Amino acid sequence: MRLAGRLGGAALSLVMVAVLGFFLFRVVPGDPVVSMTRGRPTTAAMQAELRAQFGLDRPLHEQFFSYVSSLLHGDLGTSFTFRRPVAEVIGERLGPTVLLVGTATLIAVGLGLWLGVRAAWRRDSAFDRATTGVSLTLWAVPTFWLGMLLMMVTGDLFPSRGMRDTDTAPDFVSQALDVAHHLVLPSITLVAVVCAEYVLIMRSSLLEEMHAPYLVTARAKGLRDDLVRRRHAVPNAVLPAITLVFLRFGLVVAGAITTETVFSWPGLGLLFYDALTGPDYFLLQGLLLVTAGAVVVMNLLADLLHGVLDPRVKAV
């Protein structure tokens, strides 16, 4: 029952995103046909032909209904800029984003949770203060600025753009190493920004857990600190922390957009930024749908995870 409700809510959110996307981007100023033909010899007749090709000559409500009906058939429309199906264009750019976001999230979760646990356990120690202080500072750092600084400081150590060099040997190992080399700065940037939050989440989650009566009892029984921490406190505290990590996926998305822009990383964030100059309506709608969809799915996962692993939730 609860699951059905959740799924329904998520579906409703996606429908709202789809509708919002249509109208939001139609209000973006600019005529796609004018921006497309700007600077080229064009006649009024050619402009009219283009408008008809894209269906832009029809009234807004007709455009909306045809958008909805093709969406129901799983068709996201055709990109004005690339003259190809939006799903195809997005598909091409999905890989790099997943790679960047995936790598960064894994590192950030691992590092964040570990630091958070240590900091909470030795609360008020020098380690705790340093970790919390650094985290709070990193949390305050604008992503793009960190990226630019890293680029300036590292000088020639790392490539300044993109995901691959064009003249790397075609074998898998060289290619993989090349991608890894390109991935270093963008993922450090993204990790730094996201990790800070995870540290703070994990730290407070564990601190809360440590006040739980059963832990006090366990300690009173004379169990070693280390054992109490590993056996009882951490497992219980990690759960809400992980849930929050899933819930805060929107933060990662935002970080990815700026990081991709700074490092010309060929993913969805860069695509979104480029699609705004057009404006490429269908591509923008598709991107909004995909990013919001990812966040919705993550939230849903967080919910399910929480429900499955934590029996207390069912009582609520």
Q: Tell which positions 147-166 bind another protein, by CB under 8 A.
A: 148-149, 151-152, 154, 156-166
Among 251, 250, 234, 242, smallest CA distance to 301 is for 242
Report the distance separating Cα 166 and Cα 175, nearest Å.
10
Q: How many residues bind another protein (CB under 8 A)?
A: 120
Residues 59-88, interacting with another protein (CB under 8 A): 81-84
Nearer to another protein, 77 or 267 (CB): 267
Nearer to another protein, 71 or 245 (CB): 245
* Cα pseudo-dihedral 210, 216, 217, 219, rounded to 10: 90
Cα angle value 89/190/130 (rounded, 5°): 170
Q: Establish if 2 lies at the interface with another protein (CB under 8 A).
A: no
Residues 173-192, interacting with another protein (CB under 8 A): 173-174, 177, 180-181, 184
Q: Establish if 38 lies at the interface with another protein (CB under 8 A).
A: yes
DSSP assigned state of 39: T
Q: Establish if 219 lies at the interface with another protein (CB under 8 A).
A: no
Q: Establish if 248 lies at the interface with another protein (CB under 8 A).
A: yes
Q: Establish if 100 lies at the interface with another protein (CB under 8 A).
A: no
**In this structure, is the dihedral angle defined by the CA atoms of residues 279, 285, 290 and 291, taken in order, positive or negative?**
positive
Which window, 60-68, 214-222, 278-286, 303-311, contacts another protein (CB under 8 A)?
Answer: 278-286
Amino acid at 277: T
Report the distance separating Cα 214 and Cα 219, nearest Å.
9
Rg of the chain taking only CA atoms, in angstroms: 24
Which window, 45-53, 61-69, 214-222, 304-312, contacts another protein (CB under 8 A)?
Answer: 45-53
Cα angle value 109/96/84 (rounded, 5°): 140
Which window, 23-31, 58-66, 68-76, 305-313, contacts another protein (CB under 8 A)?
Answer: 23-31
